[in-house]
Amino acid sequence: MSVDLEKILRPVESPMAPYEPKYMMLASGEPVVVRQVFRDEIPDLLKHVEPLIHVERDYYDVVAARVYAELIGYYTHRFQDQYVLALQVDGELAAIVNGRQVTPKLGLSLHTLALRRGLRIGAHGFAAKMEYHIDALGHDEVLIVAESPIGFRRWMIEYKLEKRFDIPHELGGVPSWALTRELFDRARSSLVVGRRPVPPELLEKALEKILPPSDPPTPPLDPLAATRALYDPTATALVAQRWEMEKGAQDA
């Protein structure tokens, strides 16, 4: 008797409401479109995520490596109930956010990866996926963790998240924080922005093609520009490394 292993290996996908696209104006005056990315578009994202795996700055290497794996898992039907949203400015990829449904009442935030720094693009993306969890999917709570100090300030502090330290998060097994429906409603007026429907010309541009980011994050020229040390939390290793660089420049 033949066995269809693919049916065994693939997780059964739960019904999930689609994300309704929206747009907002950035401080630069540019409109950014937030929309759902579908499975056949994932390869268009992977080629822009892969270079960030080598950017040891603001934990981009850690986040990018995990996002890359999550996207491949989604693309190959090896990830349970994941969704992916993209933020695009004139078609250019500005951010990727993703998460998943754990139960019909519980969501889980995976990552917020900004490919264009500044203008709070990452914060807008995070707010969009929290809106999706609470309003569209009907989750009462979303489990969240942060991998960088910037993320901690943006999520835990700005949203005043509640501790769920008895629940290990799927990202590394670290203690979880939670955004409840009540907390989201409190933050809605100040942190959640955007309009619907998206003007047809903006949506068509975003759907036509995911264009490469024009100014993606890059490794710092000076090691001290990174927000974390290579070898120790006190940054003494980075100080020594810069001294060696300066010495080499003087000897040249």
pLDDT of residue 219: 78
Domain match, 63 and 183 both = yes
- The total domain count for the chain is 2
Q: Across the chain, what does the average pLDDT equal? A: 91
Domain match, 235 and 200 both = no
Domain match, 136 and 226 both = no
pLDDT of residue 234: 47
Domain match, 129 and 83 both = yes
pLDDT classification of 130: cutoffs 50, 70, 90: very high
pLDDT of residue 236: 52
Q: What is the domain-level CATH number for residue 110?
A: 3.40.630.30
Domain match, 172 and 248 both = no
pLDDT of residue 48: 97
Domain match, 91 and 70 both = yes
Tens digits of residue pLDDT in 204-226: 999 999 999 999 998 776 655 55
Domain match, 51 and 106 both = yes
Classify strands 141-144 and 106-114 as parallel, antiparallel or unpaired: parallel
pLDDT mean over 154-176: 96
Domain match, 139 and 247 both = no
Look at residue 250 and tell me whether its pLDDT is greater than 80: no
Report the share of the chain in percent with pLDDT over 70: 87
Those residues with Cβ within 8 angstroms of residue 59's Cβ, 6 or more apart along the chain or in another chain: 147, 148, 227, 228
Alpha-carbon distance of 23 to 195, in angstroms, equals: 5
Tens digits of residue pLDDT in 41-78: 999 999 999 999 999 888 999 999 999 999 999 999 99
pLDDT of residue 229: 45
Q: Which domain holds residue 234?
A: 222-252
Domain match, 125 and 228 both = no
Burial of 145 (0-12, 13-18, 19+ CB in 10 A): buried
Domain match, 113 and 233 both = no
Domain match, 31 and 111 both = yes
Tens digits of residue pLDDT in 77-110: 999 999 999 999 999 999 999 999 999 999 999 9
Domain match, 227 and 186 both = no
